[in-house]
A and B are shown apart, each in its own frame.
Chain A
Amino acid sequence: MVATGALGAVGVAAVAWPFINNLNPAADTLALSTIEVNVTPIAVGQAVTVKWRGKPVFIRHRTEAEIKEAEAVPMAQLPDPETDNKRVTDTAKKVRPEWLIMIGVCTHLGCVPLGNKPGDQKGEYGGWFCPCHGSSYDTSGRIRKGPAPKNLVVPDYLFTSDSLVRIG
């Protein structure tokens, strides 16, 4: 009885799996390529939004003040502690504090935070503010206040030259 039942369960699972896995991303979706962005036109203090894998990616050319502010924050004040330095390092381990590159998706429930456009509300910590549920991020894109649990995600990126960055 037990053996029959167990065999039956394995059989059901084996048949069910293709139906479940069928809903996972298809090969063409997974194959979404990397993108390359020319950062020369982005002036100091400016930010742009580019699309990568169907999601917005923020590229911010930070001012000296913003960098200083981000570096000065004590780790103890961060809900998701991470140094600013680590967040501006590309895959070749080169640190460029002036370029902050992040996926522009709030880690709470996936809205796009405000703060990239000149007139945008930037929240209490001068970085980004998510209008959906009120999360505030600092000038390093780290979560400081609100329901979001994590910092804005930094994707893999590589500066192939001083003006070109490859994301993905």
Chain B
Amino acid sequence: MASSHGTPPVFNNKVISWIDHRLPIFSYIEKEYHTFPTPRNFNYFWNFGAIATVMLVLMIATGIVLATNYTPHVLMAFDAVERIDRDVPQGWLIRDLHMNGASFFFIAVYIHIFRGMYYGSYKAPRELLWILGVVIFLLMMATAFMGYVLPWGQMSFWGATVITNLFSAIPVVGESIVTWLWGGFAVDNPTLNRFFALHYLLPFIIVAVVALHVVALHVHGSNNPTGIDVKGPQDTVPFHPYYTMKDGFGVICFLIVFAGFVFFAPDYLGHPDNYIPANPMVTPAHIVPEWYFLPFYAILRAIPDKLGGVLAMFGAIAVLFVLPWLDTSRVRSCTFRPIYKWFMMLLVVDVIVLGICGSKPPEGFWVPLSQLATLYYFAHFLVLLPILGKIERPLPLPPSIADSVLKKKAV
């Protein structure tokens, strides 16, 4: 769609015009964020890309400020973070924004991923757009994991130990890889040092991949709740002011909830054990990762075999890369897929169940439940998706986006 709109803009301001003639950034902004034709029927699920971008910027801004007061050394890290909380002017605020910002970044991204899956945004011609999104998700997980290690509390230390040990499951070279990751014989000062360096680096790589994600998005434009293609100007509105306003509204609503946590329950999403300094001699009785990793943690523990568990956990993310090819249905949106729609909702329930299992000790009833939920997770992608596309009879699609909007109004 990018090619379909009009003549290049004329700028009245001479300075802008001079710059734009040599470096067309103003034309670019005009084309991609002002006149950019965008489907007119977005619902609020389409806010979460913008919300996630805002969270990324917030994380980088707060992170840079935090880094100025942080020391990546095993003897000083814990105290440095406590000092940020207690002594540094507004340090508590910056840290609570960063800490809760990670959670809310994941909330935004999980909703964004759900949106993409429910409305079939990953299907042709947006497969690479989707894959870049999964790459961003992976980078976010790595960044969040390393960030959680930096306060050097008990959960930091043991989280780092467990996650780095995942690589020891690799046959033959596993142990050497783990030693290489640690820079020693256990998680220790070299580990903390390099995690800090990488935690600072990865967000900027995320920014770069987000840029590619947006470039890919602007080739064919956004998908929409009907999943059908834009057929003409009657189906679209310019991005500005329509969606700058709607995104702005969504961002503000999201930030209100975020601020509620930051100011009234800053530690609600964290774990109290991380306020105990790291002790390599004692593992806390019940170690859990941050909430956003719990479903994957449950998959890891559901398999009673070390290598199998690790493969299943990585496989749970790897399967997302091939999602565009596992789904055999030609219809994008679940709105018109009467059977798949319910399985999609079941997947959401399944992931929540996995999350709950991941937060419980690995015993009793939670073990078979997490195994069942893991089975459904993989069956959903590897069995249901390919088969349903063949046997499901989709509902009739509306002739155009404009039709679907106007008909809804008439009813």
Given the complex of chains A and B, what is the CA–CA distance between A143 and B344 in angstroms? 40
Q: Given A24-B179, A109-B162, A112-B283 in contact, is the A147-B309 Cβ separation under 8 Å?
A: yes
User: Of the 9-residue stretches B5-13, B122-130, B180-188, B391-399, which lies at the interface with chain A?
Assistant: B180-188
On whether the beta carbons of B194 and A25 are closer than 8 Å, the reply is no
A8 at the interface (CB under 8 A from B): no
On whether the beta carbons of B161 and A111 are closer than 8 Å, the reply is yes
On whether the beta carbons of B281 and A32 are closer than 8 Å, the reply is no
Main secondary structure, interface of A, reads: loop
A56 at the interface (CB under 8 A from B): yes
In the assembled complex, which residues on chain B have CB atoms less than 8 Å from the CB atom of A49? 281
Q: Could you tell me which residues of chain A, from 42 to 72, have a CB within 8 Å of some CB in chain B? A: 49, 51, 53-56
| Most chain B CB within a 10 A radius of its CB, from A114, A131, A146 | A131
On whether the beta carbons of B162 and A147 are closer than 8 Å, the reply is no
| Most chain A CB within a 10 A radius of its CB, from B182, B307, B362 | B362
On whether the beta carbons of B281 and A53 are closer than 8 Å, the reply is no
Q: Given A55-B186, A147-B306, A147-B309 in contact, is the A111-B283 Cβ separation under 8 Å?
A: yes
Given the complex of chains A and B, what is the CA–CA distance between A55 and B283 in angstroms? 12
On whether the beta carbons of A111 and B158 are closer than 8 Å, the reply is yes
A132 at the interface (CB under 8 A from B): yes
In the assembled complex, which residues on chain A have CB atoms less than 8 Å from the CB atom of B188? 29, 54
CB distance from A52 to the nearest CB of B (A): 9
B304 at the interface (CB under 8 A from A): yes
Q: Could you tell me which residues of chain A, from 120 to 143, have a CB within 8 Å of some CB in chain B? A: 130-134
The contact size tier of chain B is 35 or more
On whether the beta carbons of B280 and A26 are closer than 8 Å, the reply is no
Given the complex of chains A and B, what is the CA–CA distance between A149 and B309 in angstroms? 12
On whether the beta carbons of A29 and B281 are closer than 8 Å, the reply is no
A interface residues, tally (CB under 8 Å)? 29
| Most chain B CB within a 10 A radius of its CB, from A20, A113, A132, A133 | A132
Given A20, A25, A112, A147, which contacts B304 in the complex, CB threshold below 8 Å?
A147
Considering the complex, give the chain A residue whose CB is closest to the CB of B297: A133
In the assembled complex, which residues on chain A have CB atoms less than 8 Å from the CB atom of B281? 49, 51, 56, 112
Contact with A along B268-285 (1 / 0, CB 8 A): 000000000000111111
In the assembled complex, which residues on chain B have CB atoms less than 8 Å from the CB atom of A130? 283
On whether the beta carbons of B185 and A110 are closer than 8 Å, the reply is no
Given A29, A109, A112, A134, which contacts B185 in the complex, CB threshold below 8 Å?
A29
On whether the beta carbons of A25 and B185 are closer than 8 Å, the reply is yes
Q: Given A55-B185, A146-B304, A147-B301 in contact, is the A24-B287 Cβ separation under 8 Å?
A: no
Taking Cβ atoms with an 8 Å cutoff, the residues of B that contact A are 158, 161-162, 164-166, 168, 179-188, 190, 194, 280-287, 301, 303-307, 309, 361-363
Complex A-B, nearest 9 residue pairs according to Cβ-Cβ distance, in ascending order: A54-B186, A110-B165, A109-B165, A111-B283, A109-B162, A112-B283, A53-B185, A110-B161, A134-B362
